[in-house]
Structure 1
Amino acid sequence: MNKKLMVRLAVLFAFVVAISAAVIYFTVDIRTLEYLTMFEPRCILLALGCLTVGLLFDALRLITLAQVTDERLTFKQIVNVVLSNYFLALVTPGASGGAIAQVMFMRKAGVPVAKSTVVVLVRTVMSIIFLILLVPVVLHSDKDIVNWMPASVLTVLSVLFISLPVIVISLLQTRYPEKLIFFFTRKCSYTTRRNCYIWYEEFKTAVNVMGKRPWMMLRAFIESGLSLLFIYATVPSYFTGMNIDFDLVQVMGRMVLLNLVLYFSPTPGGSGVAEGGFLVLFSNILPNGVEGIMAVLWRFTAEYLPFLLGAVVTIRAFGSDVLNMASLKSKTTAGKQHAMNKETNGAVSADEDKA
């Protein structure tokens, strides 16, 4: 197997084991064994069932988004796209490889790079928008959060989160985003400035695609939400296995908050941040001694198991040199996107002429 991939996997394995061991070590106590003896193995099947349904809805969402761009993909091709995202997201800094993996598999299925890039970006944007829209519901339904946050602050935050997607879409119809990008990147290198403008144009194209077929996009949005909620449901599934009393709405709400943060985590797959955030959010819900075990069970089920499946399909499709291929594909995709957007991106052109 490729040495670079072996080293990356070894480092990731050591990091995950270290994080998991630390989480369990610092939370275990005398009552941990008592709760483990109460553990019902059937809850594992429930958790795996929730994960499977979540991944299926994710696959259906990608099929719908491909249809929006007039492309047709088989279910098997879509499953490969979904699983490959988990694999390369965990072995690359900041989960940057996840998007590249999806583009690689869609390109292998015959979808042009430009279209596959838009589909992948829309997929991510949909997930983030869904979580953002749920934040006001979570803030108003979680009694513990309401108790320490004034009502006026809750109202302001709720209005902000609900209005944020509308504000972003409205700004995209103006030249202000381009001016802001130019202002904040004026002292950066040419490559950094170009990449920022390319990302902006890709995002703008994705939003335009979402507006062309609203009913299909609504369907994809619903599939996106169901996918996320079923994957998050792996956590309460394990709670039932230890006969822990909990509020399902509260648990799901806190999973929404945690996973929204993970979208912006700098670590591969959110490792470390996820476990720490889980302990912070669920320490007052779970009995002492089981928080760490629950965090590790959640991460293994919702992240590391799909990662292993993704490793199998990705290495089988592209070989052990997949990391080098992903790096090359990233540069090639950026170049093609830059060429495609050059005529419409007047700000970039003007900036290049100055350079």
Structure 2
Amino acid sequence: MSKFYKRFFGLIMLVVVISGIVIYTTVDINTLKNLNQFQTWSIGLAIFAVGLGLFFDGSRLMHMVRISNENISLYQAVQVVFGNYFLALLTPGATGGAVAQLMFLRHAGVPTGKATVLVIVRTLLSICFLALCMPFIFWHDEGIVPGISNHTLMGITMTAFVAIIVMVVGARRGYMDYFVIWSTRHMRNDRRRKLFAFYRDTKCAIALLMQAPWKMLWVFMESGLNLLCIYAIVPCLMLGLGVMDADWYTIMGRMIFLNMLLYFTPTPGGSGVAEGGFVYLFSESVPAGTVGIIAVCWRLIAEYIPFLIGLYYTLTVFGRDFLSRQLNK
């Protein structure tokens, strides 16, 4: 059996096992009673929300490509977006997502150097939007992380944000060059070359961000709309269960916090961490016995359906043999 099939079936089994455990450990005597009141229209609303989010994702990619003096169609942008979902779920730490984006951008005619920069910018914009939201979340939602005060979390967030700004300015003006050279002087040559290449691409990404600030601000706004629409899946499902008087600010804030953590989890697509974190954060926000089911539905709509669409596009555009070669590298 090829490595591709092993990873694919391994992922399917992982998803089934995690989903089963999450549902089994969270159902109780109230589950069927509350599910009987579920309104199916909320599923359609959730699918509409994720569809709108994916549209903004493709739109921002098209705008970034135009800023780099290249051009792709909306259909090609859609392929990039869904391809990212596919390989991100198949690889630890979602590292394959960047590879998929690069593959589809190159297939769309974007030069490799620019494609690499665009992938970095796309990720940076999403992380920056989530980071900007963190202070507002910690200011409003007390005790989101057990054992750590929100003042401490706020301090950590602001420190990280300032550090990012310092690194961006330092890279832009060349000050970071000396630090990178100094910090890598004892590394092996191959690792040092890879780090230098990544640093060079990051500097190009920063230059692209500064090249057209007003256009990039629009792209940043689309990044935020993309993420907020996708996170709105959970409020949509809650409405279907009759949750009308919830603190929607807190719910969306916790979705932002959870998804920020998922950027740094080592499991494929954050599997396990996403479901466990969801159960912890939302167990008191939904009707009794339904938190595990909502967690699984959220992952199904937000990740697994786009994953299958990404599988279709990847096999259609590149073929099974090409994909197997990529996974065997």
* TM-score bracket for the superposition, by shorter chain length: over 0.9
Indicate if the aligned counterparts of 2:2 and 2:324 stay in contact, CA closer than 8 A. Answer: no
Deviation at 1:176, TM superposition (A): 5.4
Distance 2:14 2:292 in 1: 16
1:79 equivalent in structure 2: 78
> Deviation string for 1:84-132 (max 9, x for gaps)?
1001111122211111111111111111000111111100000000000
Secondary structure of the residue that 2:69 maps to in structure 1?
A: coil
TM-score scaled by length of structure 1: 0.86
Q: Which runs of 5+ in 1 are unaligned?
A: 332-355
2:133 equivalent in structure 1: 134
> Deviation string for 1:220-266 (max 9, x for gaps)?
00000000000000011101111124211111101111111111111
Secondary structure of the residue that 1:278 maps to in structure 2?
A: helix
Distance 2:260 2:154 in 1: 19
2:209 equivalent in structure 1: 210
2:304 equivalent in structure 1: 304
Q: Residue 284 in 1 paired to residue 284 in 2?
A: yes
Percent of counterpart pairs with the same letter? 44
- List aligned pairs for 1:184-333, cutoff 5 A: 184-244=183-243, 245-326=245-326
Distance 2:191 2:145 in 1: 41
Distance 1:88 1:145 in 2: 31
Distance 2:150 2:55 in 1: 39
**Closer, same or farther in 2 for the Cα pair 1:230/1:151, shift >3 Å?**
closer
Secondary structure of the residue that 2:33 maps to in structure 1?
A: helix
Q: Which runs of 5+ in 2 are unaligned?
A: none
Indicate if the aligned counterparts of 1:139 and 1:146 stay in contact, CA closer than 8 A. Answer: no
Distance 2:57 2:150 in 1: 36
1:94 equivalent in structure 2: 93
Distance 2:67 2:9 in 1: 40
Give the superposed CA RMSD.
Answer: 2.2
- List aligned pairs for 1:6-21, cutoff 5 A: 6-21=5-20
Distance 2:16 2:180 in 1: 40
Indicate if the aligned counterparts of 2:126 and 2:223 stay in contact, CA closer than 8 A. Answer: yes
Distance 1:179 1:33 in 2: 62
1:43 equivalent in structure 2: 42
Deviation at 1:163, TM superposition (A): 2.8
**Closer, same or farther in 2 for the Cα pair 1:189/1:151, shift >3 Å?**
closer
Secondary structure of the residue that 2:284 maps to in structure 1?
A: coil
Specify the code of the residue in structure 2 equivalent to 1:189.
R
Distance 1:209 1:260 in 2: 24
